[in-house]
């Protein structure tokens, strides 16, 4: 009642030393312990706020293999067929080249058991026909060469004959000129003798003798003219024969060349058919190899897709799924696009494998137990259909090996380790929803991450 207001308070007027009851009644032990605990927790919390914290990115993943050839795969039927017999069981380990299943033919085009040998005989026969075409083409080429040589000889012969006729014609023309000159002389002599005979100077005998010589000269001139005409006609005939010989042999040569080109065309067509037959023979041989489906590598038979005997399969139908026996494990993780710049090649990642217990302190990985580490091997450049980027992480050669019992497909929880910050900064970042800071790998051998360009939240 005396301390209702500060103006009317009497506490200031009372001496403090007179309160002995307070000294004789201290706080209970429980209250002091609670006070000490609160102070201790506050001090520890303040110390904890300034401890280093390693930022990280968490992501779910699954086990896979580094080499795509070592991942689970399905063996398909290369050809259509009927299952004739199985040589393996599910879960069995088979070696490379071991027979898995045998197929028999179901297409009528391949029922002939001697199909390959008969096709090879056709190939041999077609090769023989090609050889015959080659021989025929060579014979026609020799025939063409012989006809060209014969044409040259005929031309030389007829040219010589033309020259001979021309020389004979020149001689006959000279004889014709001489006969015409003799005729002119004989005619003038006859005319003079006839004039003198009319005058009674010459006798009839002389007149008849000159007349006979004149007629003889006319006969010789006519004979010489006829011979010249005959020789000219013979020269024209010989020249015409020369042209006919050239045309005749050219036609023969053209026909022979046509036959030769036709033979070569048949040869080329036969070569095309031979190539087709050879391809068919090779295809038939390879098709017979596809009757036996063999293991492409050392592997385990995981599941038979087409069980039973007598079941038919189509080309490309799955027959059996296998898991390679020898593989190098890796972890496939998917991260958000905003976290992609924080992941770099050869970056360190910690893992918690399904089935292996672990105690994890995400901010203090050195205090964690039961975790395994790896190094980033590959980072995809394209985003997947779920809006995330895929990274592939392999084992860390500097850390303990991964468990041998791991198999592709098992679940993994990955923790990508980033740079170091203080706890208060990490709490402030988490409360504000900011991404982790961007760090780059330093040049030191330990591979510690140094702060290069932090993304300040205040900016």
Within this chain, do residues 282 and 295 fall inside the same structural domain, yes or no? no
Within this chain, do residues 313 and 339 fall inside the same structural domain, yes or no? no
pTM, to two decimals? 0.57
Within this chain, do residues 178 and 91 fall inside the same structural domain, yes or no? no
Q: Provide the residue range defining the domain that includes 155.
A: 115-289
Within this chain, do residues 163 and 241 fall inside the same structural domain, yes or no? yes
Q: What is the predicted pLDDT for the residue at 2? A: 47
Q: What is the predicted pLDDT for the residue at 418? A: 76
Q: Which of 233, 263, 289 is the last residue of a domain?
A: 289
Q: Nearest-CA neighbor of 241 among 145, 160, 148, 149?
A: 160
Q: What is the predicted pLDDT for the residue at 452? A: 36
**Does a structural domain hold residue 15?**
no
**Does a structural domain hold residue 459?**
no
State the CATH number of the domain containing residue 335. 2.40.30.170
**Does a structural domain hold residue 14?**
no
Within this chain, do residues 357 and 280 fall inside the same structural domain, yes or no? no
Q: Which of 271, 289, 307 is the last residue of a domain?
A: 289
30 exposed, middle or buried (CB, 10 Å; 0-12, 13-18, 19+)?
Answer: exposed
State the CATH number of the domain containing residue 296. 2.40.50.100
Within this chain, do residues 63 and 99 fall inside the same structural domain, yes or no? no
State the CATH number of the domain containing residue 264. 1.10.287
**Gyration radius from the chain CA atoms:** 60
Within this chain, do residues 224 and 318 fall inside the same structural domain, yes or no? no
- The total of structural domains in the chain comes to 3
**Does a structural domain hold residue 4?**
no
**Does a structural domain hold residue 22?**
no
Q: What is the predicted pLDDT for the residue at 103? A: 92
Within this chain, do residues 124 and 241 fall inside the same structural domain, yes or no? yes
Q: Which of 264, 289, 314 is the last residue of a domain?
A: 289
**Does a structural domain hold residue 26?**
no
Within this chain, do residues 316 and 400 fall inside the same structural domain, yes or no? no
**Does a structural domain hold residue 33?**
no
Within this chain, do residues 382 and 310 fall inside the same structural domain, yes or no? no
Within this chain, do residues 136 and 273 fall inside the same structural domain, yes or no? yes
Q: What does each of the 459 residues of the chain score in pLDDT, given as a tens digit?
A: 445 555 555 555 555 555 555 555 555 666 677 878 888 888 888 887 877 877 777 888 898 988 888 888 999 998 899 999 999 998 899 999 999 999 998 888 888 888 888 888 988 998 888 898 899 899 999 999 998 898 898 888 888 888 888 888 788 778 778 877 877 887 787 777 777 778 777 777 777 777 788 788 778 778 778 888 888 888 888 888 888 888 888 898 999 899 989 989 998 999 999 899 899 888 888 888 889 999 999 999 998 988 878 888 988 899 999 989 888 889 999 888 888 888 888 888 888 888 888 777 666 676 677 788 889 998 888 888 888 999 999 998 888 888 888 888 888 988 887 777 777 877 887 787 777 765 544 434 333 433 333 333 333
Within this chain, do residues 305 and 402 fall inside the same structural domain, yes or no? no
**Does a structural domain hold residue 79?**
yes
């Amino acid at each position: 009642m005396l301390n209702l207001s500060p103006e009317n308070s009497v506490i200031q007027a009372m001496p403090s030393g007179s309160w002995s009851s307070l000294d004789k009644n201290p706080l209970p032990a429980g209250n002091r312990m609670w006070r000490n605990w609160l102070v201790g927790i506050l001090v520890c919390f303040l110390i904890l706020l300034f401890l280093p914290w390693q930022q990280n990115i968490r992501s779910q993943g699954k086990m896979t293999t580094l080499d795509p050839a070592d991942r689970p795969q399905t063996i398909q039927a290369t050809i259509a067929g009927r299952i004739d017999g199985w040589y393996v069981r599910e879960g069995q380990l088979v070696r490379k080249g071991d027979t898995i299943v045998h197929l028999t033919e179901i297409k009528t085009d391949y029922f002939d058991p001697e199909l390959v040998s008969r096709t090879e005989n056709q190939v041999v026969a077609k090769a023989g026909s090609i050889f015959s075409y080659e021989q025929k083409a060579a014979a026609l080429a020799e025939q063409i060469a012989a006809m060209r040589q014969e044409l040259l000889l005929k031309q030389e012969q007829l040219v010589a004959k033309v020259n001979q006729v021309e020389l004979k014609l020149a001689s006959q023309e000279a004889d014709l000129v001489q006969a015409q000159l003799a005729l002119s002389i004989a005619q003038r002599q006859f005319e003079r003798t006839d004039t003198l005979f009319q005058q009674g100077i010459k006798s009839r005998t002389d007149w008849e003798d000159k007349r006979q010589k004149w007629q003889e000269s006319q006969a010789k001139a006519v004979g010489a003219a006829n011979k010249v005409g005959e020789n000219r006609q013979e020269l024209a005939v010989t020249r015409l024969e020369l042209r006919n010989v050239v045309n005749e042999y050219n036609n023969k040569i053209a026909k022979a060349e046509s036959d030769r080109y036709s033979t070569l065309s048949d040869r080329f067509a036969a070569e095309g058919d031979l190539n087709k037959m050879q391809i068919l023979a090779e295809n038939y041989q390879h098709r017979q190899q596809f009757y036996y489906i063999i293991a492409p590598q050392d592997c385990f038979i995981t599941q038979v897709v087409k069980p039973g005997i007598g079941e038919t399969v189509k080309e490309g139908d799955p027959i059996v799924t296998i898991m390679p026996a020898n593989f190098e494990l890796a972890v496939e993780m998917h991260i958000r696009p905003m976290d992609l710049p924080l992941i770099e090649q050869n970056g360190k990642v910690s893992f918690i494998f399904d089935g292996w217990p672990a105690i994890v302190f995400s901010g203090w990985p050195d205090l964690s137990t039961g975790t395994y580490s790896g190094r980033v091997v590959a980072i995809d450049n394209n985003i997947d259909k779920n809006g995330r980027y895929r990274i592939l992480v392999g084992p860390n050669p500097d850390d303990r090996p991964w468990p041998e019992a791991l198999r592709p497909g098992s679940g993994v929880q990955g923790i990508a380790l980033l740079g170091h910050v203080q706890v208060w900064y990490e709490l402030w970042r988490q409360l504000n929803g900011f991404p982790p800071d961007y760090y780059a790998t330093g040049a030191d051998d330990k591979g510690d991450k140094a702060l290069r360009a932090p993304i300040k939240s205040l900016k």
